[in-house]
Structure 1
Amino acid sequence: MTTYRWFRQGIIGVVGGALLVTLVGCSTPLTTREKGALIGGGAGVGTGALLGGGTGAVIGGALGAGGGLLVGDQLQK
Structure 2
Amino acid sequence: MAIKSLCIVLLSMTLLAGCDHLSHQQQRALSGGAIGAAGGVAVSAITGGSLLTGGLIGGAGGAAIGALTK
Q: Distance in 1 between matches of 2:29 and 2:40?
A: 16
Q: CA RMSD in A?
A: 2.1
**Which protein is richer in helix relative to its size?**
1
Alignment counterpart, residue 38 of structure 1, candidates 10, 34, 38: 34
2:67 maps to 73
1:26 maps to 16
- 1:26 deviates by 1.5
Provide Cα deviations, 1:50-73, integer angstroms capped at 9, x if missing partner.
1125xx211110100010011011
TM-score by length of 2: 0.61
CA gap of 1:29–1:43, structure 2 versus 1, over 3 A, is farther
The unaligned stretches of length 5 or more in structure 2 are: 1-11
TM-score by length of 1: 0.56
- 1:29 deviates by 7.3
Tell me the number of residue pairs that the alignment of Structure 1 and Structure 2 aligns.
51
Provide Cα deviations, 1:23-63, integer angstroms capped at 9, x if missing partner.
xx82427700100000000000111111125xx21111010
After TM superposition, what 4+ stretches of structure 1 lie above 4 angstroms from structure 2?
none
2:4 maps to none
